[in-house]
């Protein structure tokens, strides 16, 4: 696989009031840059909605994802920009997830991809682990990988997100990729 067009780091910081998700850029040399966006996840929400903001005070929304049902971790999650325009959606394929967890991704401009865990062995290990390593590749029907997520081997939860372009020049909106990456890491509980 060639070099990705864009790389980001998703970092989860857990504390007693919930989890803070930070999205950072990864520079061409591999070093981690500044925080692009952050979101606070509250533990008392009946319907999962996660809003990423551009500022530390969480006053300026940048993008969000929300479930279409209350208490439904297997529902469809719509990803919207700061004005509420739909960027795309993602959902878990429960039936296909018995062997390796499987997710479906759709963009507003027609890109569809299926994300599967890379390894059946790691999928099995993850089911018996309190802190699972998650590694997913999202590929189009013709096999082009458009997004990959991989947990870093560090003490806190950190995930590399990598985006690749399609042969026709299109690629996922980085906000959609970040929402899918954070959604998969949050919702992967089987």
pLDDT tens for 6-19 read 999 999 887 776 77
Those residues with Cβ within 8 angstroms of residue 14's Cβ, 6 or more apart along the chain or in another chain? 157
How confident is the model over 29-49, as a mean pLDDT?
80
Using pLDDT thresholds of 50, 70 and 90, give the confidence band for residue 190.
Answer: very low
Q: How many CB atoms lie within 10 A of CB 13?
A: 12
Mean pLDDT of 22-36: 92
pLDDT at 166: 93
Q: At residue 100, does pLDDT exceed 90?
A: no
Residue written as token pair 């870093």? 152
Between 149 and 120, where is the model more confident?
149
**CA 76, 77, 78: angle at the middle one, nearest 5?**
120
pTM of the shown model: 0.88
Q: State the DSSP code for 167.
A: T
Sequence-separated (6 or more) residues with CB below 8 Å from residue 19: 12, 13, 40, 41
């Amino acid at each position: 696989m060639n070099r990705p067009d864009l790389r980001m780091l998703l970092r989860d910081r857990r504390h007693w009031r919930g989890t803070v998700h930070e999205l950072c850029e990864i520079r061409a040399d591999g070093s981690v840059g500044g925080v692009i966006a952050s979101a606070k996840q509250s533990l008392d929400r009946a319907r999962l909605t996660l809003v990423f903001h551009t500022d530390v005070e969480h006053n300026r929304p940048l993008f969000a994802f929300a479930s279409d049902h209350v208490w439904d971790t297997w529902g469809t999650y719509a990803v919207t920009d700061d004005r509420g325009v739909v960027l795309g959606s993602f959902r878990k394929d429960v039936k296909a997830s018995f062997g390796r967890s499987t997710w479906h991704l759709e963009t507003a401009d027609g890109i569809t991809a299926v994300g599967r865990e890379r390894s059946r062995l790691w999928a099995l290990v993850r089911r018996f682990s309190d802190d699972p390593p998650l590694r997913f590749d999202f590929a189009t029907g013709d096999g082009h990988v458009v997004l990959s997520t991989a947990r870093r081997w560090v003490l806190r939860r950190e995930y590399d997100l990598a985006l690749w372009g399609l042969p026709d020049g299109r690629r996922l909106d980085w906000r959609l990729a970040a929402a899918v990456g954070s959604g998969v890491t949050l919702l992967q509980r089987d």
